[in-house]
Structure 1
Amino acid sequence: MSESDRSHCNQTIDKFIYFGNLYPHEPQFQSGLFYGLALTPRFERDIAHDARKNMPFADGSVKGFQSQDVFEHIPYQKIPAIMDDIFRCLQKGGIFRLSLPDYNSPLLRRRSVYDADGNILCDLAMGGMVSATLNDGVQVGFAGEEGDSHIWFPTFNTVLPLILTSEIRKCDTIQIHHAWIDKDKWICKPFEQGVMPVSRVPPHDMRADGKPISIVIDFIK
């Protein structure tokens, strides 16, 4: 990021902010409309930032935010404060697009490991690891994830409390585009993806035959 770009960090910026490294192959990079917020900057439009801390932007200064498959790597209890800060920074009429893997999706559930109560312990496809402790031949415990693996497993019922306990709930419009409401009912509505495309949704990702594998929600301030 250039010095002239950095000078805008505390002013209104006519750009969108993308959580995570902004890889050159991604359409958000290629459009020229985004900066990335990354713990370890790697590319020319990445800004060094720890998502668990307040962002270096003035109130009401950012055109829009996109978080795509990022928040499941951050401790669950930290998410409301991040959403508070997104709401603070958004311009009036600005949009925050949130997408998360949906662990009510049969596709994701099939690759996950559970405890005796049916709670997900880890997603084996995302770097999760499992070990078993045996007591007289009976499996009694698991040990979970490390590294880049998911540390919580979003569903509609776990994401909703994050919204309701955050300032983001005050947005004028909240639109749910994709989600499994429970293990039997799902929403999969078409939505505009010109500026903020989401990779893990149909028609880009058809692993679930057109059913949702991501929770996708827009918040418009």
Structure 2
Amino acid sequence: MTQPMPLKECIDIYQSEDVFEHVAYEKLPQIFAYVHTVLKPGGLFRMSVPDYRFDVYRDRSVKDGDRFVFDPVGGGKYENGVVTGGGHLWFPTYESVTALVVASPFSKWEVLEGYDPDGNAIIKPVDESYGRVLRTSYRDPRVAGRPRPLSMVIDLWK
């Protein structure tokens, strides 16, 4: 993910589900720019990351005050104030994800699922002809009894 491939404008759809939270946040702008480069004009980048306003993620995570520091189910270990071993390195929310999107070369984007800054659920249809997303309000068994977003699902168009 962090190393570019020698490709340019050759991919129609680039989908990432539950990957970017394992990459250092400061590396993501360069990755978004690279994804933009490999997409054909009109191509789609569909991104899905856990939304830490989802009650299950929020409640199970270790916090320092209001700041998330470790998700014990997200993999890895938390030792000496650092996440190691492939765990979640940052804890996505609407603000952190849309900041990446706004700073990216993508000019057209839409949040399909997640929580807005006030904690209100966003649930819009996810056109799965572009790619199936497993962790959605209508598919994930963890929310079957009370459907609600558990991930931020965003479509970004080149």
Structure 1 length as normaliser, TM-score? 0.66
- Aligned residue number for residue 68 of structure 2: 120
Return the match for 1:207 from 120, 142, 153: 142
Confirm or deny: 8 A CA contact 2:114 2:152 kept in the other structure: yes
More deviation in 158-167 or 210-219? 158-167
> CA offsets, 1:70-110, max 9 Å, x none?
11111100101111111111111211100000011111101
The answer to which structure, 1 or 2, has the higher relative contact order (CA under 8 A, 6+ apart) is 2
The percent identity for this pair of structures is 33
Structure 2 length as normaliser, TM-score? 0.90
- Could you tell me which runs of 5 or more consecutive residues in structure 1 were left unpaired when the two chains were aligned: 1-50, 132-141
- Aligned residue number for residue 86 of structure 1: 35
Mapping of 1:36-185 within 5 angstroms?
A: 51-58=1-8, 60-116=9-65, 118-130=66-78, 143-168=81-106, 170=107, 173-182=108-117, 184-185=119-120
Confirm or deny: 8 A CA contact 2:77 2:85 kept in the other structure: no
Q: State the 1:192 CA deviation.
A: 1.1
Distance in 1, matches of 2:13 and 2:6, equals 14
Question: How many aligned positions are there?
Answer: 156
Structure 1 segments of 4+ aligned residues over 3 angstroms from their partners? 128-131
Q: State the 1:124 CA deviation.
A: 1.1
Q: Which amino acid aligns with 2:105?
A: E
> CA offsets, 1:109-161, max 9 Å, x none?
01101113x10010011235456xxxxxxxxxx62421121011110111111
- Could you tell me which runs of 5 or more consecutive residues in structure 2 were left unpaired when the two chains were aligned: none
Task: Please tell me the root mean square deviation across aligned C-alpha atoms, in Å.
Answer: 1.7
Distance in 2, matches of 1:53 and 1:144, equals 23
**1:218 counterpart SS class:** strand
Distance in 2, matches of 1:95 and 1:187, equals 20
Confirm or deny: 8 A CA contact 1:94 1:220 kept in the other structure: yes
